[in-house]
Structure 1
């Protein structure tokens, strides 16, 4: 291994989380296994994996979803609220629009007077609950952001991000 000035302090090369990892739990396990193999250690292998696993196997019940917005519905059917991510923190509106065609959106999303996306009214097959499927896009985004606007508690609607 090439010396990087820290060879005496940190003799093993740290592994990156593999790009092909589909879940954080699997990525953590692969990274922990790579660290264990690189270090040539076997006695601490269970401890390394348990520490890296962070108790994922013990978690149960509801999982926290990636909520990126909170909205309230007005009498006219529009939603007013805020979208918050690591890079975005803006007030936004989701307004109903007249459909121009069968596949055209039911809603337009705007922030600071600029159109940010569109939404389509949908109904869940199993529960019949109504929601809005939202697509947000902007030149500053690397890819469109897909989200679902669902009714929460006390009249609040949550914008849940998905990939």
Structure 2
């Protein structure tokens, strides 16, 4: 056997051994803790949003927001920000919402009172900390696909890479 394929096989086996050692690690991940201790939230995947109704500004909203979990039928955090002509905050409303409430994010030029209104949605635990001030910030930001799929698990991607590497090595033999 030539030296190159033998070295490649040793490297491949080393990567597999390291992967197996990592996969059998005793350290907990955030997902492990959520899985093992579901009582920390009222339901699996529970999350919180900053919540207020027409607070005068972002500080007052976030400062006095109740520390409560969102209802199970919601999935996103919503922010509605009204600004006067000078760009100062007039009111801030934040809450937990379902998908339907996040389909019209963005900014309007002026409402009937002459205020600019920007709406934004985000996915994640207390992700609605900042305010949307303009079109660039008034978006619907998700961390997972809207179709509900979760993508390819990390372990499958690693196995696919290892198989590809094996095929690549065997083509040089």
TM-score range, shorter chain: under 0.3
TM-score, scaled to structure 1: 0.25
TM-score, scaled to structure 2: 0.24
Bigger radius of gyration: 2
More strand per residue: 1
Higher RCO, 1 or 2 (CA under 8 Å, sep at least 6)? 2
